[in-house]
Amino acid sequence: MVFSGNNVKIKKKILVVDDSALMRRVMCDIINSDERFQVVEQAFDGEAALQLLRKNQYDGVVLDVNMPKMNGIQLLRMLQNEKIRARVMMASTDTCDGAKVTMEALDLGAIDFIEKPVNIMYLKSGEFKRNFLDILYAVTTSRQSNISSLPVLSRQTQEESTQKIVNMARKSQPVVAGQKLVAIACSTGGPKALQSVVPRLPAELMAPVLIVQHMPKGFTQSLAERLDSLSKIKVKEAAEGDVLENGTVYIAMGGKHMNVTTRGGRAVITYTDEPPREGVKPCANYMYESLKNSSYAQIVCVVLTGMGADGTKGIVNLETAKKIHVIAQDESSSTVYGMPKSIAATGLVNKVVSLDGVAQEIIMSVGVK
Nearest-5° angle of CA 229, CA 200, CA 159? 85
Same domain, 242 and 116: no
Nearest-5° angle of CA 166, CA 171, CA 175? 80
For 4-8, 161-165, 308-312, 343-347, which range has the lowest pLDDT when averaged over its residues? 4-8
Q: Write a three-state SS string for 11-48.
A: CEEEEEECCCHHHHHHHHHHHHCCCCEEEEEEECCHHH
- The CATH number given to whatever domain includes residue 24 is 3.40.50.2300
Same domain, 192 and 307: yes
6 vs 223 pLDDT, higher one: 223
Mean pLDDT, the chain, whole residue set = 91
Same domain, 351 and 229: yes
Range of the domain at 59: 2-140
- The kind and range of the H/E element at 113 are strand 112-115
User: Residue 166: what pLDDT?
Assistant: 72
User: Residue 237: what pLDDT?
Assistant: 98
Give catalytic residue positions: 187, 214, 310
User: Residue 152: what pLDDT?
Assistant: 55
| Domain-terminating residue out of 111, 140, 169 | 140
4 vs 96 pLDDT, higher one: 96
266 vs 5 pLDDT, higher one: 266
| Domain-terminating residue out of 108, 140, 172 | 140
Instruction: Look at strands 180-186 and 323-329 and give their pairing.
Output: unpaired
Judged against a pLDDT cut of 90, whether residue 322 lies above it is answered with yes
Same domain, 340 and 213: yes
* 51, 4 contact by CB (below 8 A): no
Judged against a pLDDT cut of 60, whether residue 3 lies above it is answered with no
| Domain-terminating residue out of 80, 110, 140 | 140
Same domain, 208 and 341: yes
Same domain, 113 and 183: no
For 140-144, 166-170, 193-197, 358-362, which range has the lowest pLDDT when averaged over its residues? 166-170
Query: Exposed, middle or buried, 167 (CB in 10 Å: 0-12/13-18/19+)?
Result: exposed
Question: Tell me: the pLDDT tens digits for 105-126?
Answer: 999 999 999 988 877 777 778 8
Question: Tell me: the pLDDT tens digits for 234-262?
Answer: 999 999 999 999 999 999 999 999 999 99
Does residue 58 fall inside a structural domain? yes
User: Residue 31: what pLDDT?
Assistant: 97
User: Residue 151: what pLDDT?
Assistant: 53
User: Residue 242: what pLDDT?
Assistant: 98
CA atoms within 13 A on the CB side of 216: 17
Does residue 106 fall inside a structural domain? yes
| pLDDT cut 90: percent of the chain above it | 78
Largest CA distance in the chain: 66
Same domain, 349 and 267: yes
Q: What is the C-alpha to C-alpha distance for residues 103 and 263, in angstroms, rounded to an integer?
A: 34
352 vs 122 pLDDT, higher one: 352
Judged against a pLDDT cut of 80, whether residue 143 lies above it is answered with yes
Same domain, 91 and 186: no
- If phi > 0 it is left, if psi is from -120 to 50 it is alpha, else beta; for residue 310 that is beta
Can you tell me the mean pLDDT for 199-223? 94
User: Residue 245: what pLDDT?
Assistant: 97
Same domain, 91 and 184: no
Does residue 146 fall inside a structural domain? no
Strand partners, 61: 15, 88
Judged against a pLDDT cut of 50, whether residue 353 lies above it is answered with yes
The DSSP letter of residue 50 is H
User: Residue 34: what pLDDT?
Assistant: 96
Same domain, 170 and 133: no
Does residue 193 fall inside a structural domain? yes
Judged against a pLDDT cut of 90, whether residue 218 lies above it is answered with no
User: Residue 164: what pLDDT?
Assistant: 75
Can you tell me the mean pLDDT for 269-276? 96
**CA 75, chain centre distance (Å):** 22
Does residue 148 fall inside a structural domain? no
Total domain count for the chain? 2
pTM over 0.85: yes
Does residue 149 fall inside a structural domain? no
Q: What is the C-alpha to C-alpha distance for residues 113 and 340, in angstroms, rounded to an integer?
A: 21
Does residue 55 fall inside a structural domain? yes
- The CATH number given to whatever domain includes residue 167 is 3.40.50.180
* 223, 250 contact by CB (below 8 A): no
Does residue 150 fall inside a structural domain? no
User: Residue 4: what pLDDT?
Assistant: 39
Judged against a pLDDT cut of 60, whether residue 131 lies above it is answered with yes
Judged against a pLDDT cut of 80, whether residue 94 lies above it is answered with no
- CB within 8 A of 39, min separation 6: which ones? 14, 15, 16, 27, 28, 31, 32
Question: Tell me: the pLDDT tens digits for 22-69?
Answer: 999 999 999 999 999 999 999 999 999 999 999 999 999 999 999 999
Same domain, 90 and 201: no
Same domain, 192 and 113: no
- Measured CA distances, 128 to 26, 309, 345 (Å): 11, 20, 30
Q: Write a three-state SS string for 189-250.
A: CHHHHHHHHHHHCCCCECCCEEEEECCCCCCHHHHHHHHHHHCCCEEEECCCCCECCCCEEE
